[in-house]
């Protein structure tokens, strides 16, 4: 998920969504041949009577519970390995110690600050980067001139490893919010740019022509026909970008910061506080997953609305 702008990865994530869209359309068209329109219920795989594994797997609460099975088992194994003395406390403190570390940091009012500043940086950087990625992706995807002029440069910039920007950004913007947000922005830009520009090139020509035939052009054509047609791709780009944003956040905060989850990582490493270190990792996992899930909800809504 977190390879910076890997084209294969982004390419793969575009295709299945559009294929799904096609498949769904095909099914609907055949069922719609009947005199009455089909019922809008799309998720009704569950048989009315009786129990079926597939039916349970469709239920939200069941999915949540089943998804939590593995984390629970991991915590169990963690607890067991520490109490069995397989690792020293410095190597791997027991879960309870990590919990206490969290309680301690909350009491001092530090944990909230770390989480808040990191989340803020990610959201701002992601927002700006994704916005620019969308704008440039639209430009390059729709205009051949822009493609010829911009695509080689953007491709070369994408090839620069993320951390290579850090010294330059610090030199230009000093160690502050600007340099961190900019780095995250760079990270979020490329997945959105790549997926959007590629997807726009493959929008159904017939639909675009129909739009043009009815006088749509420029921005109006983009917002009426082209962008709605690539909504699934835009969202897979956004989700990759969000993962990248968290990756770049930690890179930025590891190198130079006095607050944030990345700072908590380095600070704990320097002080030998493995419990806080683990806490930071768990928090990154949980917050990263929550933001991704929120984006997933938005995606579900958008795909239903636009596809």
Partner 1 sequence: MTALASSARPAAAASSQARRPDLSSALPVSFRGLRRTFGTGGSAHTVLRDIDFEVERGEVLAILGPSGCGKSTLLRATAGLDAPSAGTVNIGTTPVQGIDPRCAFAFQEPRLLPWHTLQANVAIGLPKSASAKDGKAKVARLLELVGLDKFAKHRPREVSGGMAQRASLARALARNPGVLLLDEPFGALDALTRIKMQDLLLDIHAAEPTTVLLVTHDVDEALQLADRIVVLGKETGREGDGATIVRTVVVPGERPRDRGSAELARMRSSLLESLGVEGN
Report H helices in the chain: 7-31, 53-57, 60-83, 95-107, 110-142, 144-159, 165-173, 177-201, 205-213, 218-221, 227-229, 231-255, 261-271, 274-306
Q: Which of 5, 3, 1 minimizes the C-alpha distance to 193?
A: 5
Among 214, 286, 293, 301, binds partner 1 (CB under 8 A): 214
Binder of partner 1 out of 101, 225, 240, 241 (CB under 8 A): 225
Residue (of 188, 182, 305, 288) closest to 237 by Cα position: 188
CA-CA distance, 245 to 238, in Å (whole number)? Answer: 10
Q: Report the site for partner 1 in 24-43 (rule: CB under 8 A).
A: 25, 28-29, 32-33, 37-38, 40
Q: Cβ 225 to partner 1, closest distance in Å?
A: 7
60 touches partner 1 by CB under 8 A: no
Nearer to partner 1, 101 or 231 (CB): 231
For partner 1, which stretch binds (CB under 8 A), given 67-75, 224-232, 246-254, 275-283? 224-232
Asked if 99 is part of the footprint of partner 1 (rule: CB under 8 A), the reply reads: no
For partner 1, the closer CB: 36 or 91: 36
Neighbours of 172 (CB within 10 A): 11
Q: What's the rounded Cα separation, in Å, for the pair 231 and 28?
A: 19
State which residue, 145 or 213, has the beta carbon closest to partner 1: 213
Report the C-alpha gap between 223 and 43 in whole angstroms: 29
Comparing CB distances to partner 1, the nearer of 39 and 70 is 39
Degrees to nearest 5, angle at CA 290 with 90 and 17: 125
The residues near 234 (Cβ < 8 Å, ≥ 6 apart) are 134, 192, 195, 196, 199, 227
Instruction: Find the binder of partner 1 among 213, 218, 270, 297 (CB under 8 A).
Output: 213
Q: Least distance from C-beta 34 to partner 1, angstroms?
A: 8
Cβ nearer to partner 1, comparing 127 with 228 = 228
Give the DSSP H/E element, type plus range, for residue 163.
none
224 binds partner 1 (CB under 8 A): yes
Q: Residue 216, interface with partner 1 (CB under 8 A)? A: yes
In the list 215, 218, 258, 270, the residue contacting partner 1 (rule: CB under 8 A) is 215
Question: Binding segment for partner 1 among 12-20, 170-178, 204-212, 265-273 (CB under 8 A)?
Answer: 204-212
Q: Which of 129, 127, 116 is nearest to 187 (CA)?
A: 129
Smallest gap from Cβ 108 to partner 1, in A, equals 50
Residues that bind partner 1 (CB under 8 A): 25, 28-29, 32-33, 37-38, 40, 206-207, 209-217, 224-225, 228, 305-307
């Amino acid at each position: 998920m977190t390879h910076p702008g890997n084209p294969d990865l982004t390419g793969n994530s575009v295709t299945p969504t559009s294929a799904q869209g096609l498949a769904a359309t095909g099914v609907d068209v055949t069922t719609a041949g009947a005199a009455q329109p089909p019922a809008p219920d799309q998720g009704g795989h569950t048989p009315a009577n009786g129990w079926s594994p597939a039916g349970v797997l469709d239920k939200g609460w069941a999915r949540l519970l089943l998804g939590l099975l593995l984390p629970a088992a991991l915590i169990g194994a963690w607890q067991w390995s520490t109490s069995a003395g397989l690792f020293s406390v410095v190597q791997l403190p027991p879960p309870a110690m990590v919990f206490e570390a969290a309680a301690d940091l909350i009491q001092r009012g530090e944990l909230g600050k770390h989480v808040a500043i990191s989340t803020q940086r990610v959201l701002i950087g992601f927002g700006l980067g994704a916005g620019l990625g969308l704008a440039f992706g639209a430009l390059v995807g729709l205009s051949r001139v822009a493609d010829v002029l911009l695509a080689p440069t953007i491709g070369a910039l994408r090839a620069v490893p993320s951390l290579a920007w850090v010294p330059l950004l610090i030199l230009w913007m000093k160690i502050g919010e600007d340099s961190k947000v900019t780095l995250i922005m760079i990270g979020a830009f490329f997945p959105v740019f790549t997926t959007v520009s590629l997807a726009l090139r493959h929008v159904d020509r017939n639909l675009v022509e129909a739009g043009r035939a009815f006088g749509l052009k420029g921005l109006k054509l983009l917002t009426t026909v082209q962008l709605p047609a690539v909504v699934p791709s835009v969202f897979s780009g956004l989700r990759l970008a969000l993962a990248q944003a968290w990756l770049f956040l930690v890179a930025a905060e590891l190198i130079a910061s006095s607050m944030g989850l990345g700072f908590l990582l380095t600070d704990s490493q320097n002080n030998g506080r493995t419990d806080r270190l683990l806490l930071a990792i768990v928090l990154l996992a949980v917050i990263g997953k929550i933001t991704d899930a929120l984006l997933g909800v938005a995606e579900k809504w958008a795909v239903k609305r636009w596809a």
